[in-house]
Amino acid sequence: MKMKARLYAPGPVSVPAQVLEAMSRPLIHHRTPEFKKLFGEVRAKLAQVACVPYGNILIVSGSGTAAFEAGLLAAVPGGSKVLGIGGGKFAERWIDMAHAFGYDVKPLPVPWGETVNVDAVRKHVSEHPDAFAITLVHSETSTGTLHDIASIAAAVREVAPEMRILVDCVTSLGVAELRPLEWQLDGVFAGSQKGLMTPPGLGFAWLSERVWQQESHHVPCYYLDLHKENAKQAKGETAYTPAVSLLQGLNVALDMILAEGLEATWARLSKNNQVVLEGASALGCTPFSDRPSPAVAALKAPTGIAAPDIVAGFVKRNVRIAGGHDDAKPVLFRPSIMGDADTFDALTIVMVLEDVLRELGHDVAYGAGVAAASRFLHAERMPA
């Protein structure tokens, strides 16, 4: 039987029809008053969602990785010492990136699935008093871990008040609580294809006033020069041709988030992700992380079942989820309900998982996962 295609991966995510419709509208030229109006609206709404002042957040045509690269080069002088905090595929990517640009990188390994230990970070910072910056990941997509950036940043400030704190927020922007000003961060970087419900192709970079006011000894670059973009975007323009259609779609997606309310959006995504975790746990799949992120339900396969076979079972049913990376690939699979998804989508993931596990020979009672998920939802709705 032909099944409807469903996208439950932690990016790209399913895109709401309203966003797709906006992207299909006739193009406007990027050097016109019409574009300037659109760009101003998008930047203002994006600043609201990121909890930063309007005018400080920059948009580049590229992925979240492009935004982080641009921010790293804009914020950290060439040859500086950089502390790279590990804990997953994307934390390690930032460490690799810093190496590639010739920084003196001092990594702090963190086991995948474990929360970054605040005391370990404090010790690492104190051992490198000459370090200029530290790179962190807020929501580590590869492990499904939400790191306590507020506490980590506070610890860094205790030891090194002037250190630049740069954070990958690719799957936390619009998904989990993020307060760059209150947490005294210096850089926040994200992309369009996750919590902001827009196709891939836009990167977002916010830098603190501390960064903008420092003497300009940033690493030379061209297309990803945020100093150049900052000057242009302050005038309602971009330095180079922007992804106009994506900006039209993003404008609508941001309207949807702000209409629901940012904290309500965070709560809904957290609840729906927990629905998946509760249902999957009843089927013998345990959370991979000790502090789950609301962006993705990172799950360990039951003993005797290979995670890639679970992913393949979802594909067989025309449902796309993500598998694990590197050493976690044999045991880890990762469905997500970011994007155009709701509680019934979360229940669908659990139901498909049960069907896949049964086909793979795992002994589970019919309806066990959905029943556990439904009990959780009922408890959530009961008055305190």
Which contacts qualify for 150-154: CB closer than 8 Å, 24 or more apart? 150/179, 150/182, 150/183, 151/118, 152/85, 152/116, 152/118, 152/121, 153/183, 153/184, 153/185, 154/183, 154/184
Q: How far apart are CA 226 and CA 74, in angstroms?
A: 6
Instruction: Choose among 65, 137, 123: nearest CA to 289.
Output: 137
Return the SS3 of 274: helix
pLDDT for residue 87 is more than 80: yes
Q: What is the mean pLDDT of residues 285-292?
A: 97
Give the torsion through C-alpha atoms of 284, 288, 293, 294, to 10 deg: -20
Q: How far is CA 325 from the centre of its chain?
A: 16
pLDDT in tens, 227-249: 999 999 999 999 999 999 999 99
Strands 187-191, 299-300: pairing is unpaired
Which pLDDT score, from 0 to 100, does residue 1 have? 60
For the chain, the average pLDDT equals 96
Residue 378 pLDDT level (bands cut at 50, 70, 90): confident
pLDDT in tens, 358-370: 999 999 999 999 9
Residue type, 22: A
Using a pLDDT cut of 70, give the percent of the chain over it.
Answer: 98
Looking at the chain, the domain(s) classified CATH 3.90.1150.10 span 6-12+261-381
pLDDT for residue 216 is more than 80: no
Q: What is the mean pLDDT of residues 80-84?
A: 98
Cβ neighbours for 220, distance < 8 A, ≥ 6 positions apart: none
pLDDT for residue 55 is more than 80: no
pTM of the model: 0.95
Calculate the alpha carbon distances from 79 to 65, 84, 102, 235, 377 in Å: 21, 15, 6, 32, 52
Q: How far apart are CA 285 and CA 240, in angstroms?
A: 47
Which pLDDT score, from 0 to 100, does residue 379 have? 87
The CATH fold assigned to 17-258 is Aspartate Aminotransferase; domain 2 (3.40.640)
Q: What is the mean pLDDT of residues 266-292?
A: 97
Q: How far is CA 205 from the centre of its chain?
A: 13
Lowest average pLDDT, out of 55-59, 63-67, 177-181, goes to: 55-59
pLDDT in tens, 295-324: 999 999 999 999 999 999 999 999 999 999
Which pLDDT score, from 0 to 100, does residue 339 have? 94
The CATH fold assigned to 6-12+261-381 is Aspartate Aminotransferase, domain 1 (3.90.1150)
Residue 384 pLDDT level (bands cut at 50, 70, 90): very low
Q: How far apart are CA 216 and CA 76, in angstroms?
A: 9
Q: How far apart are CA 265 and CA 271, in angstroms?
A: 10
Q: What is the mean pLDDT of residues 182-200?
A: 98
Residue 220 pLDDT level (bands cut at 50, 70, 90): confident
Which pLDDT score, from 0 to 100, does residue 219 have? 81
pLDDT in tens, 111-162: 999 999 999 999 999 999 999 999 999 999 999 999 999 999 999 999 999 9
Q: What is the mean pLDDT of residues 205-211?
A: 96
Looking at the chain, the domain(s) classified CATH 3.40.640.10 span 17-258
Q: How far apart are CA 185 and CA 210, in angstroms?
A: 10
Q: How far apart are CA 146 and CA 294, in angstroms?
A: 8
Which pLDDT score, from 0 to 100, does residue 382 have? 53
Q: How far apart are CA 106 and CA 127, in angstroms?
A: 10
Q: What is the mean pLDDT of residues 214-231?
A: 88
Cβ neighbours for 153, distance < 8 A, ≥ 6 positions apart: 165, 183, 184, 185
